[in-house]
Amino acid sequence: MILTVVNLILIFWVLMANRKVAVSDDEDPENKKTGHVYDGIEEYDNPLPKWWFQMFLGTLIFTIIYLALYPGLGSWQGLLGWTQINQLEREQEKAAENFNTVFGKYMSMPIEEVAREPAAVKIGVRLFGNNCAVCHGADAGGNFGFPDLTDDDWLYGGSPEQILHSLVQGRVGQMPAWDNIIGEENVIAVSEYVLSLSGQPHDETQLATGAQVYAQNCAACHAADGTGNQVVGAPNLTDDIWLYSGTAAGIRQSVRSGRFGNMPAQSDKLREEKIHLLAAYVYSLSLDDSE
């Protein structure tokens, strides 16, 4: 505190002491020189221009007023009582008010309605880009092992309630490895049978064995007809949509070594209002333009 005050006093003294230049009677006050010469150039000893002097004086006055109003001199709290904490609290209150204005109004609306609100969908696009695009792609078209959210094929269901459940609580899907259970020959046979379910070229000689292996080991999750089970997240094997690979080699790899997928829960990362909007955006991706 003392150091600050002393420095201000010294600065003021230096400023006032140099506002005029003392000259003798035979000297021109506008052309007094310091006596320093370098390379034929003489240095003049002129006072600061008036506007410059006044600017320095103004900054000193501002400093004194500032230090009187705000903390800056030791334990002095300032006349306004300002602190970083109370400013932070005011900013947080303002941010919460703005948040409730922007997001709060959508919480009272069903997800189906929010999905048809252009302003809400626009917010959802940004939320998706910040939190989901790294896995599902910027266009939500999915990646290897990550579902395409723009079609009408869903592992756990595409209703607003099911999408919201996926976001809030996450999903864990696991396809067990069957190599050590059924053996390599049966892995190949059942893979050929799965190829046949989706109408792809396959080895007819393997179908009978593959169908038997499928009924004994796979039907419990993927259903007897291969259409899947959304309760456990087992995919439909009869269409041409594949989470990993629908080739013969890819299917064999899935059967042989298994697959593991994890959709992390967002409830501990995003506020409820944001998850609600995000669910509405994901739901809107699979809506027909006519809806």
Phi, psi of 44 (to 5 degrees): -85, 155
Task: Tell me if 107 is assigned to a ligand binding site.
Answer: no
Task: Tell me if 36 is assigned to a ligand binding site.
Answer: no
- Angstrom distance (rounded) from CA 279 to CA 291: 17
Task: Tell me if 175 is assigned to a ligand binding site.
Answer: yes
Task: Tell me if 202 is assigned to a ligand binding site.
Answer: no
* Burial class (CB within 10 angstroms; exposed 0-12, middle 13-18, buried 19+) of 206: buried
Task: Tell me if 132 is assigned to a ligand binding site.
Answer: yes
Determine how many CB atoms are found less than 10 A away from the CB of residue 62: 10
- Angstrom distance (rounded) from CA 271 to CA 129: 16
Are 188 and 256 a contacting pair, CB within 8 Å? no
Q: Render 163-219 in DSSP notation, one character per residue.
A: HHHHHHH-EEEEE---HHHHHHHHHHHHHHHHHHHTT----GGGHHHHHHHHHHHTH
Task: Tell me if 263 is assigned to a ligand binding site.
Answer: yes
Binding site listing for heme c: 132, 135-136, 175, 218, 221-222, 263
Binding site listing: 132, 135-136, 175, 218, 221-222, 263
